[in-house]
Amino acid sequence: MHRRLFLKGLGVIGVASSVVLPKIAFAGDMLDPMGSKLAGSLYYTKDAPGRWKGKEETHVPMIERSGNSIEVTTGHEMDGYVHYIIKHILLNENLEFVEETLFNPEIDAPISEHDITGLNNRLYMVSLCNKHDAWLNMLTL
């Protein structure tokens, strides 16, 4: 089945750059995108790198908390518009969009800061690479 038609039919969370996490796949109280069958195929995680095995160290967003803020770093070099991290996307515990940070690959490093006041239980961070797709990590609050 064509990937775009499949995603359109699921009723997905769309993020401007086509990063998506289907809500239907995580229905009910078992909201666990980190352990989903989609991890390693539609998006990637440290434990499910799929076809990008070996890229985990430079693509998984690392999240460090300090009080009500987090710093997110993706250990990826920014090679101009050839190979770079496009953005970081913060999602709440229900996989709803909270905010994003776009990067200019000619001057930025893939580091973002986010206020997490009001977020509960878990948060998810997506790091989007122009060549190696979307990478997801989670922080339990």
- Report the amino acid identity of residue 10: L
Euclidean distance between CA atoms 62 and 72, whole angstroms: 5
| Amino acid 23: pLDDT | 52
What integer pLDDT is reported at residue 32 of this predicted model?
Answer: 87
Q: Residue 10 pLDDT more than 70?
A: no
Q: Is the pLDDT of residue 63 over 60?
A: yes
Dmax (CA) for the chain in angstroms is 45
Percent of the chain at pLDDT > 90 equals 76
CATH code, domain with 88:
2.60.40.730
Q: What pLDDT score was predicted for residue 12?
A: 39
Range of the domain at 21: 3-140
**Residues 32, 121: contact at Cβ < 8 Å?**
no
Q: Where are the alpha helices (DSSP H) in 11-140?
A: 56-59
Residue that has been written with the tokens 């997905």 in this structure: 12
At residue 123, does pLDDT exceed 60? yes
52 half-sphere exposure, CB direction, 13 A CA radius? 23
Whether the pLDDT of residue 70 is over 60: the answer is yes
Closest of 77, 67, 70 to residue 109, by C-alpha: 77
Whether pLDDT at 3 is above 60? no
Structure tokens at 34: 């980190």
Residue 8 identity: K
Between 11 and 68, name the one with better pLDDT.
68
Average pLDDT, the chain: 85
- What does the pLDDT average to over 106-135? 97
pTM of the model: 0.80
Give the total number of structural domains in the chain. 1
* CA distance linking residue 34 with residue 45, whole number of Å: 7
Pairing of strands 122-129, 111-115: unpaired
Mean local confidence (pLDDT), 114-118: 97
